[in-house]
Structure 1
Amino acid sequence: MAPVVQSSQPWVEKYRPKQVKDVAHQDEVVRVLSNTLETANCPHMLFYGPPGTGKTTTALAIAHQLFGPELYKSRVLELNASDDRGINVVRTKIKNFAAVAVGSGNRHGGYPCPPFKIIILDEADSMTEDAQNALRRTMETYSKVTRFFFICNYISRIIEPLASRCAKFRFKPLTEEIMSSRILHICKEEGLNLDSEALSTLSSISQGDLRRAITYLQVIPQDVVQALFTACKSGEFELANKEVDNILAEGYPVSQMFSQLFDVIVEAEDISDEQKARICKRLAEADKCLIDGADEYLQLLDVASNTMRALCNQPQFC
């Protein structure tokens, strides 16, 4: 099968289920939430279980099914592990969003659009106890106009006053059969051929984490990473620029490229620790810029030029 043209979108996002009913292997959770969506009257919810089992996907799907694309941005606030979620954020950003009431629950564009908003707190178990206590008071005060969805790996790290106010949903690790089925579907869509041994190994090492399995499936070939590194070492800017163009043309995720390039840099024996430090510092800065929405081409080109500068001591590559 000829490979299809890839996009730069990570496959984890590209193949994320858009509806609750499409979430794999969480039958009890899906059944209860499907009934809840029919009434469009959601309680506060707490999703817990191992990583890569569909917790965040389910929370996002509920929000999209309730409000649709037009109202989603104004009705839903997402905060994940990359955001500062200390007590000050709870008292300002979260409280300000939660306090504003919305219109009555009239359907809009075919979506239920109930008269409340949703705040999704991913990896809530990483919040400090003080922040959680402050959040408890916010939940009590604004429960009529705002619903909270907590997502965590360890429910024991959520304080009891918060947990007791939520409907709890436990997500189970995915079986190898379910993971293999999903991986084969992605391979078919992307035009990839994966033999049975590789499929079994991928399902096994992922240990029930479908997100990890999909990420492993999309790993950039090592020769592509090595070609970029070699081009940078050569000091030929045009060659490095050509490798950057090839990477983007193939649709490889740039954040994954940075991760693999980091490994190549660290393991290289023919460059000094100072050179490694300079390159790795720039890799970290570029990765942060990508998270903030920076252009992939510019960040990858900047990493290549700074790597060249560090390896070849050529100041013109800034």
Structure 2
Amino acid sequence: MKLSAAQAGDASLQHEGRYRNQAEFPQDGVLKKLRIGFKYLLLSKPADTRPAAPIPVQALTSAQLLAAPDRSLWRLGHSTVLLKLRGRFFITDPVFAERASPVQWAGPLRFHQPPLGLAQLPPITAVILSHDHYDHLDEQAIRTLAERAEHFITPLGVGDTLIEWGVPASKVQQLDWWQETVVAGVRLVATPAQHFSGRGLFDSNRTLWASWVIIDDERRLFFSGDTGYFAGFREIGERFGPFDLTLVETGAYNLNWPNVHMQPEQSLQAHQDLRGRWMLPIHNGTFDLSLHSWHEPFDRIMALASAAQVPLSTPQMGERVSLEQPHRGQAWWLPLEQRTAMSASTLVNDQR
């Protein structure tokens, strides 16, 4: 099933050319967007929003990936996750750029290099995109993958952008919420999220945003993309759960954005609403997109998951996770957290 944006259904509540969330909340105007962009992308931030030393990354090669067992997963950074299913590779929100920004001379800079470069990726069966924000949709990565990847699966409207960038239209499938497709035997369902879209000041919500359900026979994964907490998680869990693993955004949150990003307590609740077994927090550890310390999302979700007895997987970037038998991983950020705290303290003392 190949859909264009013009073949949209109405699940996403499109109105006058713009998409809406299931729950209505105030939309930011152009001036507020400018203030937010200037404050969070250009102004200096507290020292602890970035690690004081490079975070650990397990380097990968294409040969390693090809030889790895089926039903494997690797975090490559932020919300970029590589999946091996049925001997084929699927990748979510591939971002390899140095900055999550419309320009590469300013904006949030990566904490770490990807475990492998774009040129070293194995053949990609499908690129799965959640929405068009710069930390999820990397134009250069898409242009590089345009001929190498077989399929690009997107929410409505995002595929049109890809076609403008040179992706053959025959490779692009655009789905409304609750629509689905099958690629190489893997079932992909676009499910609701509570967020927004736009890559400029005047294209707000012209394209859709989505979370994704990924089903490989009896194995079920959930990929949140970006989202605030909303009642839709429970419905997704009722329709498609239980999930063996949920990849849920846990990072780059702020009390000023309560509707479009989740605090860690809400991330955990979303996982529970989804009827998830293992939780793997994403949208963290790569870019400083808010004002909290870079390690705070890990600290908070680890404590919350422990108290709720929810199995939590926190692999290093590039570390393999088995979808058949996930593992907890190490609290790899703790030594860096201590160094970051010491560095921030020294900076404060030097400024006195």
TM-score by length of 1: 0.29
* Larger-gyration structure (1/2): 1
Task: Identify the structure with the greater strand proportion.
Answer: 2
Task: Identify the structure with the greater helix proportion.
Answer: 1
